[in-house]
Amino acid sequence: MAVKVVVMGCGRVGARVAGILDHNGHDVSVIDVDSRSFRRLPTDYRGDTIIGTGIDEDVLRAAGIGRAAAFVAVADGDNQNIMAAQVARLVFNVPEVVCRIYDPVREDTYRRLGLTTICPTTTVSAMILDHVIGAASPIGVARGDGSGGEG
């Protein structure tokens, strides 16, 4: 079933997520402050592109957040993603909100507050460490407690 998805941030990740969702027949709107970012989208992308910041309720509304089944916050600032994700969840009641946060401590705080968060820093570090010191426990690394490296 096709659903409405709003993606904030048209960097490498945002453009890829938006492109794949669009290719799979979903109704996609992608938001970015810089119109040049939309060049990253696949040439056959048929979804909407909206210039603006996702922390502005009016911009989110223009992107169709009112009827969105999911909101993806992958702009380049942690705080921007955090704020937009909370707006999507609390103001617009979007059922599925995913928020990228690079700072592991901040990610932990907002995960506890109930946001669905993804921290590339911990996941990528864990994957790298897994290759470098095969015995590393990814769980320890992901927890950021330093135990992974010693395991």
Partner 1 sequence: MYIIVVGGGKVGYYLTKTLLEEGHEVLLIERSTDKVETFVEHFGAVVIAGDGAEAATLAAAGAARADVVIAVTGEDEDNLVVCQTARQKFHVGRTIARVNNPKNEHLFRLLGIDVTVSQTNYILNLIEQAIPERSFVHVLNLRHADLAIVEARIAASSVVAHKAIGEVALPVDCVIAAVARGAHLIIPTPATELEPGDDVIAVTRPEQEDELRRLLCIEC
Residues that bind partner 1 (CB under 8 A): 55-58, 77-80, 82-84, 86-87, 90-91, 103, 105-106, 109, 112-113
Least Å distance, CB 75 to partner 1, is 10
Task: State which residue, 49 or 109, has the beta carbon closest to partner 1.
Answer: 109
Task: State which residue, 48 or 103, has the beta carbon closest to partner 1.
Answer: 103
- Can you tell me the distance from the alpha carbon of 141 to that of 122, in angstroms, rounded to the nearest whole number? 7
Least Å distance, CB 55 to partner 1, is 5
Which residues, other chains included, contact 1 with Cβ-Cβ below 8 Å and sequence gap of 6+? none
Task: State which residue, 27 or 78, has the beta carbon closest to partner 1.
Answer: 78
- Can you tell me the distance from the alpha carbon of 86 to that of 82, in angstroms, rounded to the nearest whole number? 6
Nearest to 14 by CA among 34, 57, 66: 34
Task: State which residue, 45 or 110, has the beta carbon closest to partner 1.
Answer: 110
- Can you tell me the distance from the alpha carbon of 88 to that of 70, in angstroms, rounded to the nearest whole number? 9
Least Å distance, CB 126 to partner 1, is 20
Query: Residue 142, SS3?
Result: helix
